Amino acid sequence: MPLYDTMLQEKPAIVLEIGTALTKLGFAGEPYPRSIIASEVLDHEAKNAGLTTPNRKLFDYTSEVELYDWLVEFLKTVFFKYVLVSPKDRKVVIVESVLCPTIIKEKLARALFCHFDVSSVFFVPTHLVVLATLAVETALVVDIGYKEAVVVPVFCGVQALYAAEAQPLAAESVHNEIRRQLVASGVDEKLLTETTVEDIKIRTCFVTTAERAAKFRQEDEAAIQPCPDVDYPAKGDAIIKVSGRLRETAYEVMFPEDNDRLGLPYIILNAILKCPRDTRVPLANNLVLIGGSTMVQGLTARLKSELLALLKTDLYKERLFIQTFKFHKAPAEPNFTAWLGGSIYGATDLVLTKSISREAYSKNQTIPDFTNFEETRAAPMRG
């Protein structure tokens, strides 16, 4: 149970991490979120038709007006169905990536202040608050979610955004690869809904070793013996045959072998390479993997072996002098480690001093952003 009555008789802040696929929500000071729900809404056409099941992804909007309307509907569901508190005069902590489009931040703040009348909103960056769960100041944070993999170095509590790297190497790419291979093997595409494909990925797929992956790329069936096939029941009598080759190669989209050199190991090394020389070894010894896609079996071991192998190639051996890579294990599951960091921040005095208050927002509705230096300098006056 949350500490409803603190020494200051303050109600705990509501902490939200709104992702592309899933949203984590709960109260500040708690060790895990109350609920993890899909970031989906019911559009007006479906609502008028009498439907009740959400049918649109929250961020698949076509206009700013539509985004605002969907955010209002989604926040109603969050506050009154899951958190079960009135948002009026509540403090809200939003855990969001610094690379999140500014329009989403602005519409979210407008919905919270103008529609739900919250007392303050505190935007905290995902890659920074993750370190609060580990009590460290320096780390290379690798966030692999649904849409993309984002790598941001953090040194002494400061995000090095000039060294950030991002590529669409995440769950969506894995889902597309699974769907492609199953359709090629004769499976009816109508059976392969997003939910079914995700369930197949979670239950059957894993990251294989670099040696086995290289043999699979040879396209020689006799070169390697794949793992056992699996029969997956779908929609009653229908059975989807998941081949052993699919189970091992679904995640190879994260480790492409091409001339672009933009696979997951490459963007991690490139991010380190962009940082000053004296920060590279500490960053390599403090890697933090977050996001639901990092929970797959075998990813950490494969990533470490790929990184060590790349250090010996001509591309990096004369530029990066790193001997080891070490990975942190956060005190929470990777899919809500960022939310836990926001929960920690929301339980400190920062939520009082660094938040955007309702009064400040009514005078100036521009949300401070790291790209706007004028707003950044004026930020301390807003709380």
- Tell me if 18 is assigned to some domain: yes
Domain end, chosen from 199, 219, 254, is at 254
**97 lies in the same domain as 232:** no
What average pLDDT does the segment 265-279 reach? Answer: 95
**164 lies in the same domain as 223:** no
What average pLDDT does the segment 330-347 reach? Answer: 94
**227 lies in the same domain as 310:** no
- Tell me if 216 is assigned to some domain: yes
132, amino acid identity? A
**64 lies in the same domain as 191:** no
- Tell me if 358 is assigned to some domain: yes
- Tell me if 47 is assigned to some domain: yes
The per-residue pLDDT of the chain, averaged, comes to 89
- Tell me if 369 is assigned to some domain: no
**109 lies in the same domain as 33:** yes
- Tell me if 199 is assigned to some domain: yes
Sign of CA dihedral 247, 248, 249, 255: positive
**92 lies in the same domain as 211:** no
Q: Which CATH number goes with the domain that contains 189? A: 3.90.640
3-state secondary structure the chain: CCCCCCCCCCCCCEEEEECCCEEEEEECCCCCCCEEEECEECCHHHHHCCCCCCCEECCCCCCHHHHHHHHHHHHHHHHHHHHCCCCCCCEEEEEECCCCCHHHHHHHHHHHHHHCCCCEEEEEEHHHHHHHHCCCCCEEEEEECCCCEEEEEEECCEECHHHCEEECCCHHHHHHHHHHHHHHCCCCHHHCCHHHHHHHHHHHCCCCCHHHHHHHCCCCHHHCCCCCCEEEEECCCEEEEECHHHHHHHHHHHCCCCCCCCCHHHHHHHHHHHCCHHHHHHHHCCEEEECHHHHCCCHHHHHHHHHHHHHCCCCCCCCCCCCCCCECCCCCCHHHHHHHHHHHHHCCCHHHHCCEEHHHHHHCCCCCCCCCHHHHHHHHHCC
- Residue 332's pLDDT is 92
**82 lies in the same domain as 95:** yes
**38 lies in the same domain as 179:** no
pLDDT above 70 (res 220): no
Residue 36 main-chain phi, psi, to 5 deg: -125, 115
**217 lies in the same domain as 317:** no
- Tell me if 277 is assigned to some domain: yes
Q: Which of 262, 278, 263, 279 is CA-nearest to residue 153?
A: 279
**21 lies in the same domain as 121:** yes
pLDDT above 90 (res 379): no
Structure tokens at 57: 């992804």
Domain that holds residue 316: 132-168+261-328
What is the rounded CA–CA span in Å between residue 91 and residue 246?
46
Domain end, chosen from 213, 238, 254, is at 254
Which tens digit of pLDDT belongs to each residue from 221-240? 667 888 999 999 987 778 99
- Tell me if 249 is assigned to some domain: yes
Which tens digit of pLDDT belongs to each residue from 299-309? 999 999 999 99
Name residue 144's beta-bridge partners.
Answer: 149
**19 lies in the same domain as 103:** yes
Domain end, chosen from 205, 230, 254, is at 254
What band does 376 get if pLDDT is binned at 50, 70 and 90?
Answer: very low
- Residue 6's pLDDT is 46
Q: Angle at Cα 362 formed by Cα 357 and Cα 363, nearest 5°?
A: 100
Number of domains present in the structure of the chain: 3
**69 lies in the same domain as 214:** no
- pTM of the shown model: 0.90
Cβ neighbours for 84, distance < 8 A, ≥ 6 positions apart: none
Q: Please, are residues 97 and 143 in contact by the beta-carbon 8 Å criterion?
A: yes
- Residue 344's pLDDT is 95
Q: Which CATH number goes with the domain that contains 351? A: 3.30.420.40
